[in-house]
Structure 1
Amino acid sequence: MSRVDYQFQTVTRIYTINLTTGVGVNVLKRLHLLFILLIAIVVLSACGDSNEEDADSDETDDEKWEEIQNEGELVVGTSGTLIGGSYYDGEEESEDQLTGYEVETMREIAERLDLDISFEIIGVDNVMAAIDSGRIDISAATITDKREEDFNFSDPHKYSYVTMAVREDDNSGIDSLEDLEGKAAGGGATTIYSQIAEQYGAEVVTYGNAPNEAYLRDVHNGRTDVVINDYFLTKFGVAGFPDFDIHLHPDLKFHPTETGVIMPKDADVLKEEINSVLDEMREDGTLSELAIQFYEEDASQVPEGEIEEVEGLEL
């Protein structure tokens, strides 16, 4: 029983007793007034508690955004190894040569939020730990149900699907997902791509934050059989090494994916700010322009055509 219910019942009981025992009208009026005052005090107290809880909640939600505003800077995690998405446009690995769709999208977000930006080079397997520790504020990541349990995501700024890099002469003996059984697949330890490989019986060979060349060279020389990855990244990775005996699998496209900005779970205000900017970038065509610039296709739009779903993934 709540405090209000208890006090209501107590006063009502007194009021009823006095009616049955013939207490004067003036006394009853006083009790009636007392009852009204008591209820008002309890309601105001409850509202005060609620307001305090709301204030605490707002403080938690605002904490990350206020921290970023105070610093005047967004710290972004990115790989720097993925052609088209995040890579160095030149031999020198300096921040001013870091570019790609993910990098330039983050720069545009920061500029529209009136913030400076800095990048931390970090492998995909370490992004979530880096957000938890506060080493970085945000990054780009594939949105999954499992990740949304522990982190906040913006609306998607990239839509894609999964495909494979295989040997060109025989498609590495892979004509369907079921043919992954017993194959060696190069990939990151915690990616959705490696989970797909494992689900279909492949052995995953992990590399850390290695460049595309390391993954793809191993398919070429037979150390591994396949690299399962995002369509856009695989397309440009393969095109970057024309001397390798590899190509994009001609028939397999599966598991539609959405990429958004990942951030701490309680960063609700930061999420709202980023979503507002992404909406502007969609409406004025900036996202499409950046996607076409780096991917030669508009990755900011949902791809057309039939794409096979992969069930049972836990990421």
Structure 2
Amino acid sequence: MGRKKMVAVLALLMGALVCENAEAALAKKDLGIVRAGIDGAYPPYCYLNNKDEVDGFEVAVMKEIAKRNGLDIQCQVTAWNSMFGQLDSGRIDTVAETITITEERQAKYVFSKSYIEDSNRFLVRAGKEDSISSFKDLAGKKIGVASGQSAYNQLLAIQKEQGVQFEIAPYETSTNAYDVSIGRIDASYMNPVAGMDMSNKGNMNLAVASCPAFMAARCAYPFRKDTERGRLLAQIFSDTLAEMAKDGTLKALCVKWLGVDISRVE
């Protein structure tokens, strides 16, 4: 290839690269308001503070992603049982609520990279930690869990894989922790960070049962895979979470809000 032809080809390639970057920047700029659904009742992940403003770990992560990308991300309080319906209809763009990646969800949504590793545990009244020291101890007990979450499916899997029968009591809100404290149910199966935060703030006197975790799961942000907007946002969130993990910001946010580093980006 002659020198003139090579220069011409390089010029075309550089021009295409510049155009591609300009289009990406324009697409990001044109996203407008990005709405992240939270239920506002899951401290310390997301809740309403004493000023009636959304606050918590998830809100802090959203603010950091917004700052790094020049985006207007707004956390929109949404009832948990309608969260994915709101996502499907386009009323919100994602769900900022420790959403576990599952095969079923991956078939419908495009996920960002994971940002934390989550595991559910059994919360019982303090002093009764050994009342559930193994899965066999669940026999005959009544266990509360948030309906529609992966935790509910994990309880079904425990029944099947461990061959133990117990009553599963689904809740639309996180009040199952309170019901443990008053003896209405034997235990609540939920995120222990959120559960103990509720217990401490509400004087519920709960503790994490000695039974080990059934499984650890990666959490990520889901977006609609059938829209360019959803796919672009998933990529933006993935790239930014990777940056936040690399520079230590994500770890710092975990320690600040959750008291422990459970960050995991992959």
What 5-or-longer segments of structure 2 have no aligned partner?
A: 1-22, 160-164
Deviation at 1:69, TM superposition (A): 4.3
**Residue number in structure 1 paired with 2:218:** 258
Q: Which AA in structure 1 matches 2:77? A: I
SS in 2 for 1:298: coil
Q: Distance in 1 between matches of 2:139 and 2:149?
A: 18
**Residue number in structure 2 paired with 1:154:** 112
**Residue number in structure 1 paired with 2:34:** 74
- Bigger Rg, which one: 1
Moved over 4 A (4+): none
**Residue number in structure 2 paired with 1:226:** 187
CA contact (8 A) 1:158 1:258 kept: yes
Q: Which residues in structure 2 correspond to 1:39-58 (within 5 Å)?
A: none
Corresponding residue to 2:252 among 289, 309, 313: 289
1:207 and 2:171 equivalent?
yes
Bigger drift between 147-156 and 248-257 goes to 248-257
Q: Which residues in structure 2 correspond to 1:77-226 (within 5 Å)?
A: 77-90=37-50, 92-93=51-52, 97-140=53-96, 141-171=99-129, 173-199=131-157, 200=159, 201-208=165-172, 210=173, 212=174, 214-226=175-187
CA contact (8 A) 1:184 1:225 kept: yes
CA contact (8 A) 1:165 1:238 kept: no
CA contact (8 A) 1:125 1:191 kept: no
- TM-score of the superposed pair, with normalisation by structure 2: 0.78
1:248 and 2:208 equivalent?
yes
CA distance 1:172–1:129, change in 2 (3 Å): farther
Q: Distance in 2 between matches of 1:126 and 1:219?
A: 25
Deviation at 1:109, TM superposition (A): 1.1
What 5-or-longer segments of structure 1 have no aligned partner?
A: 1-61, 303-315
Bigger drift between 71-80 and 148-157 goes to 71-80
Q: Distance in 2 between matches of 1:269 and 1:174?
A: 45
**Residue number in structure 1 paired with 2:18:** none
Residue correspondences, number = 230
Q: Distance in 2 between matches of 1:108 and 1:253?
A: 31
- TM-score of the superposed pair, with normalisation by structure 1: 0.67
CA distance 1:133–1:252, change in 2 (3 Å): same
Q: Distance in 2 between matches of 1:264 and 1:181?
A: 40
Deviation at 1:73, TM superposition (A): 1.4
Q: Map Cα deviations across residues 187-208 of structure 1 (whole Å, 9 max, x no partner).
A: 2221121222234233232332
**Residue number in structure 2 paired with 1:310:** none
Bigger drift between 149-158 and 138-147 goes to 138-147
CA distance 1:202–1:133, change in 2 (3 Å): farther
Q: Map Cα deviations across residues 157-193 of structure 1 (whole Å, 9 max, x no partner).
A: 1112121111223348322123323322222221121
CA distance 1:111–1:202, change in 2 (3 Å): farther
Q: Distance in 2 between matches of 1:291 and 1:191?
A: 22
